Each structure stands twice: as structure tokens, then as C-alpha cells.
């Protein structure tokens, strides 16, 4: 397990070379409300990614499983490592791709769709879209916005898990 917000860059050391860029804020530079919101976003992202990994584990086609694994990793990264106060709030291109709505279509050129139960598609798109929106919270009222997105991410994950459970008990 990582320490709280261990992904945040450490402050520059006194021996840092002049041409090295200064690092971003650390835990001590954040107020307790911001810190709580960042932890909340991380926790919601981890829960959502766990559900998406369950979907990946059900796939017979390894290419679809890999696409869902990439989405799960993207959800974790976008809800945690990309939410850095003081940064530009932009989502990296590879994350935009892995969290795009085409996660529903699965891997390209397979001729098939991922195996998703009724009711799982909409929550899957929702968790990807909500995670993708999280980095932009650093540009506004981070605690309020990130907490709202984390709450909605939890709700989408809960709806997805409910659909997964309903299908598992019906089949």
C-alpha cells in the first residue's frame, strides 16, 4: 500500500540542479479539505477500477480483456495520479483513449463486442467519463468538484456491480 498521496512529487531538494524542474506540492502543502478530497477521488477510482477488472476477467477474447484492463488502469490513474493541484488539469492522450466510450466496443478488429451483461454498458461508460473528468478539478474548486465526481463514480460503480450481480444470479 502506498502512503497518503505518495504519487505527488516530492519538493525539490537543496542540491537540485538549476536546470531540473521544480516538483509539485507534497502532502504538507495541501490543506486537510483538499487532502480528504484527493483521497476520496482515489478510493472511488480504485473501487471503479476493481469492477472494470471483474468485467475484464470474464472476457473470453483476451483482446477485449486487455482493453478493459487498460480502462481500469486509466480509471485509477485519472482519479489519483492525474489529479495534481497546481497542474494544468489536462488528461494525457493515452488516458483519453483508454477511457473513451469505445471501451464498449472492445478491441479493434475483433469482429465481436466485449461480453457485457444488460445494465453494465451505461455504468461502464459513466465510470470512464467521470474518471476522465477528475483531473480538471484542479482548475476549479477541487474539494467540492472532486468529491461530487467521486460520489457519482461510486454511484456508477454500484449500478454496474448491481447489474453484474443481477445477471450472475439470474444465469
Q: Which pLDDT score, from 0 to 100, does residue 23 have?
A: 41
Beta-carbon count within 10 A of 36 CB: 14
Contact 62, 118 (CB under 8 A): no
Q: Which pLDDT score, from 0 to 100, does residue 28 have?
A: 57
Domain spans of the chain? 30-170
Contact 148, 156 (CB under 8 A): no
Residues 6+ apart with CB under 8 A from 54: 164
Q: Which pLDDT score, from 0 to 100, does residue 27 have?
A: 52
Phi, psi (rounded to 5 degrees) for 124: -65, -45
Q: Which pLDDT score, from 0 to 100, does residue 147 have?
A: 98
Q: Which pLDDT score, from 0 to 100, does residue 20 have?
A: 37
Q: Which pLDDT score, from 0 to 100, does residue 101 have?
A: 77
Q: Which pLDDT score, from 0 to 100, does residue 159 have?
A: 98
Q: Which pLDDT score, from 0 to 100, does residue 169 have?
A: 52
Q: The pTM is what?
A: 0.81
Per the document, the length of the chain is 171
Q: Which pLDDT score, from 0 to 100, does residue 152 have?
A: 98
- Residue 107 Cα to chain centre, angstroms: 19
Mean pLDDT by runs of 10 across the 171 residues of the chain is 39 37 53 96 98 97 95 97 91 90 85 94 97 95 97 98 82 46
Q: Which pLDDT score, from 0 to 100, does residue 107 have?
A: 86
Amino acid at each position: 500500500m502506498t502512503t497518503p498521496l505518495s504519487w505527488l512529487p516530492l519538493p525539490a531538494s537543496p542540491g537540485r540542479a538549476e536546470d531540473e524542474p521544480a516538483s509539485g506540492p507534497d502532502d504538507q502543502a495541501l490543506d486537510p479539505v483538499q487532502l480528504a478530497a484527493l483521497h476520496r477521488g482515489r478510493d472511488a477510482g480504485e473501487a471503479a477500477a476493481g469492477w472494470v477488472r471483474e468485467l475484464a476477467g470474464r472476457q473470453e477474447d483476451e483482446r477485449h480483456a486487455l482493453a478493459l484492463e487498460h480502462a481500469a488502469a486509466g480509471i485509477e490513474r485519472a482519479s489519483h495520479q492525474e489529479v495534481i493541484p497546481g497542474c494544468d488539469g489536462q488528461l494525457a492522450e493515452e488516458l483519453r483513449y483508454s477511457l473513451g466510450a469505445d471501451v464498449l466496443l472492445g478491441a479493434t478488429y475483433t469482429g465481436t463486442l466485449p461480453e457485457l451483461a444488460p445494465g453494465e454498458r451505461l455504468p461502464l461508460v459513466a465510470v470512464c467519463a467521470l474518471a476522465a473528468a477528475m483531473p480538471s478539478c484542479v482548475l476549479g474548486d477541487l474539494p467540492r468538484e472532486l468529491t461530487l465526481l467521486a460520489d457519482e463514480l461510486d454511484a456508477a460503480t454500484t449500478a454496474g456491480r448491481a447489474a453484474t450481480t443481477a445477471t450472475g444470479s439470474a444465469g
